[in-house]
Structure 1
Amino acid sequence: MSQSTLDDDELFGEAASEMRSDVEESLDAARAELPESDAVWETDADNVLGVLNGLRSALDVGEAEDHLRDAKKWFTMGQRADAFDDADDLEAAIADLEELIADIEAAGEQVGDLTSTVPELRSALDDAAGDDEDAEEDEE
């Protein structure tokens, strides 16, 4: 295809289409990195600590943030260049995915806190039960 057959509007239209495609592909890649719902719901652990460790691992978003960043980068570039006729769907998809990733990461932090708290709680309860047994033995 020679340059004489393409004018600037056609080139811009192609670039805009490719940019939109890049955003959509990055969003799809980010969604593919998210944990599966069954992974955060089902468990085969024998105790609470095993459940928490499994859940913490399941809540890993992998490279979803990197893909989301790429989507936002291409979206911002296209938006500033006024390349998209209608970008509301892309903007909404980016916002939804950003919120979902933030929710998953927040849940992971909470699970991480519980993962360290539960063993401490168990130890404290064991100590308290031991203190009660010691007090009973002292009374006899």
Structure 2
Amino acid sequence: MSQSTLDNDELFGEAANEMREDVEASLDDARAALPDGDAVWETEADNVLGVLNGLRSALDVEDAQSDLRDAKKWFTMGQRADAFDDAEDLEESIEEVEALIETIEEAHDQVGDLTATIPDLRGTLDDAADAGTDADDADTEADADAEEAEAE
């Protein structure tokens, strides 16, 4: 083998190691960008809508998605170049972070639906209570009128 071939093999090995490090670093960044358990559990809101808005904000995974995308990009490049001797651990880590993000996104969507529904529900319940009060007032007036008519 010529010196040039040895240098190219050595350079490829270095590049493969750097690619693995990039994948691992992006996965670490993605994990770090995931919401903290306390952030989705604790709240300081005054009402349900405040709780839901805070929870929805806590469930934001945009940064984690971006970091996961970088990890997948470098992983795909390394895989296609056959640069990784053992890529199973990286693939498992990517799948794990991806599944976590999907779960959090589903929760985010559900909270978003509730956030949109709760104000409407409150309005409907208030309207129903007002209608019930109006009906009770009308019944009370009708009863009073009937008693007054009987008294005459």
Q: TM-score, normalised by structure 2?
A: 0.85
- Residue 4 of structure 1 and its aligned partner are, at CA, apart by 5.7
Aligned equivalent of 1:29: 29
Shift in Å, 1:9: 2.0
Given that 1:23 and 1:70 are in contact with CA atoms closer than 8 Å, whether structure 2 keeps it comes out as yes
How far apart are 1:8 and its partner, in Å?
A: 2.4
Q: Which position in structure 2 is the counterpart of 1:76?
A: 76
Counterpart of 1:59 in structure 2: which amino acid?
Answer: L
Name the counterpart of 1:86.
Answer: 86
Larger fraction in helix? 2
> Contact 1:34 / 1:62 at 8 angstroms: preserved in 2?
no
Partner residue in 2 for 1:18: 18
Which consecutive residues of structure 1, in runs of 5 or more, have no partner in the other structure? Answer: none
Which structure has the bigger radius of gyration?
A: 2
1:1-140 counterparts in 2 under 5 A? Answer: 6-140=6-140
Alpha-carbon spacing, 1:54–1:128, altered in 2? closer, same or farther (3 Å) = same
CA contact (8 A) 1:27 1:68 kept: yes
3-state SS in 2 of match to 1:46:
coil
What is the root-mean-square deviation of aligned Cα atoms in Å?
1.5
> Percent identity among equivalent residues?
71
CA distance in 2, matches of 1:70, 1:6: 30
Matched AA of 1:39: A
Q: CA deviation at 1:64?
A: 1.3
Instruction: For residue 107 of structure 2, give the secondary structure of its aligned residue in structure 1.
Output: helix
User: How many positions carry a matched residue from both structures?
Assistant: 138
